[in-house]
Amino acid sequence: MKPIRQARNGNGNQALSGLAFSAFRRTGRLVLPATIATVISWAICQLGLFEIGRTCEAVWIRDTSPKPGPGVTGSIHLLLTNLFTTWTTGFNVYDKNQWTFPFLLKGSMLIFITLLATVRIHSNYRILVFLGLYAFSWAGGDPMLGMNIYFGALLAEISNRLPSPSMTPQRNPFIRTLTGVALLLGLHVSGYPEVSPEWTSWSQNLAQIGQFIFPGQDYWRYWTSIGAQLIALAVVISPRMQEMLSHPTFVWLGSVSLPLYLIHGPLVRSLLAWMLFGWQKPVSYFSQDENGNLTDSWQRRSFPDGWVFCIVLPVFLFILLWASHLWASWVEPWCAFTTKRIEEVMCGSGTGESAELPRTNGCYEEKGERPRSNGIQNQV
């Protein structure tokens, strides 16, 4: 939002400079925390703390709990391989939740490039560009990345255009109605299931609509993206919802959202698995072929009683939020400091968003500055 606001105020150079440094910092602020989380998860795995998770009845915990690596050299090789594949294919055996990080990085680069190309044009035409890119992403089968990125850019433009006194729901019934419709419709379509939409009539109706308006068969990706976009639109145009979400509790939850996303997987597969299943002895199972020969064997720990969940889950949630707060207080500042130092080394110690880029030809020269040519033209 800041580059768009600067561009609307005529500060094109500051917007361009801010985009350059933001693009540089964004990479470090994503890669460093993800790398640290992977190393921690790898260390937990090598210590054997995922073994209970590998034998429990919870399918997600069991399927995402890897085995320790074969020796020191093999384990280090697996760590380096997964650190690399996290950003190339989105696969990370030690933390499969990081499949989203390539999308986050690509999305941030997309919006930086788009703003770089449109920061000097009039805001009305910039909105047309965003709408065109949104339609292109829709038709091109890119609901997870392009549609969300460009809709977010549209929301940034909308938020800079809304005059808050006249757009409050109390003074504008249309905005109040639009907020309610966008919120309810967003909640409705975002619940579209990934599989078996024919089981309920409402999701079956959405599937039939998707046949006419969506390319391909990934209707759930489109509907969930559209639902999230409608909810975000409702928040942007509703001062009342903005005030509610500005409560210190929600602000704090937002500040620990990335740490919570990074560390909840390793903690679920180790600490929560131990709290729920660690006190049970595993039961051995085996399978045989038609000749009675043993073909496979495995161990399972069954789910505990419901009262155990009622006690364990609140305790685990408290520990998870506390650990996320520690991460936000110590790890995130270190990542920001390290990124800043790398920036100073590569770009110079006097860099910053306040530094202006040199004036070049183009829209900036509309203020009356005529560029001086050189070379053959000067000689003529």
Give, for all 380 residues of the chain, the pLDDT tens digit. Answer: 676 676 666 666 777 777 777 777 888 889 999 999 999 999 999 999 999 999 898 889 999 999 998 889 999 999 999 999 999 999 999 999 999 999 999 998 898 888 888 888 888 888 999 999 999 999 999 999 999 999 999 998 888 777 654 445 455 788 889 999 999 999 999 999 998 999 999 999 999 999 999 998 889 999 999 999 999 999 998 888 888 999 999 999 999 999 999 999 999 999 999 999 988 887 776 666 676 666 666 678 888 889 999 999 999 999 999 999 999 999 999 999 999 898 888 877 655 544 444 444 444 443 444 344 444 344 43
**Which spans in 47-122 are helix H?**
51-54, 59-63, 71-88, 101-118
CA 115 to chain centre: 19
Closest Cα to residue 159, out of 239, 103, 77?
Answer: 239
Count of residues for the chain?
Answer: 380
- 32 close to 339: Cβ distance less than 8 angstroms: yes
Residue identified by tokens 């391989």 is 81
b vs e for 80-115, b when ≥16 Cβ sit within 10 Å of the residue's Cβ? Answer: eebbeebbeeeebbbbbbbeebbeebebbebbbebb
Helix, strand, or coil (residue 139): helix
C-alpha separations of 340 from 3, 15, 30 in Å: 20, 19, 13
Q: What is the pLDDT of residue 11?
A: 66
Q: What is the pLDDT of residue 175?
A: 81
- 206 close to 193: Cβ distance less than 8 angstroms: no
What is the C-alpha separation between 246 and 258, in angstroms, rounded? 18
**Vertex 225 angle, CA 220 and 230, to 5°:** 125
Q: What is the pLDDT of residue 279?
A: 84
- Tokens at 249, concatenated: 């509790």
* 212 burial type by CB count under 10 A (0-12 exposed, 13-18 middle, 19+ buried): exposed
* 34 burial type by CB count under 10 A (0-12 exposed, 13-18 middle, 19+ buried): buried
Q: What is the pLDDT of residue 239?
A: 85
Confirm whether pTM is higher than 0.75: yes
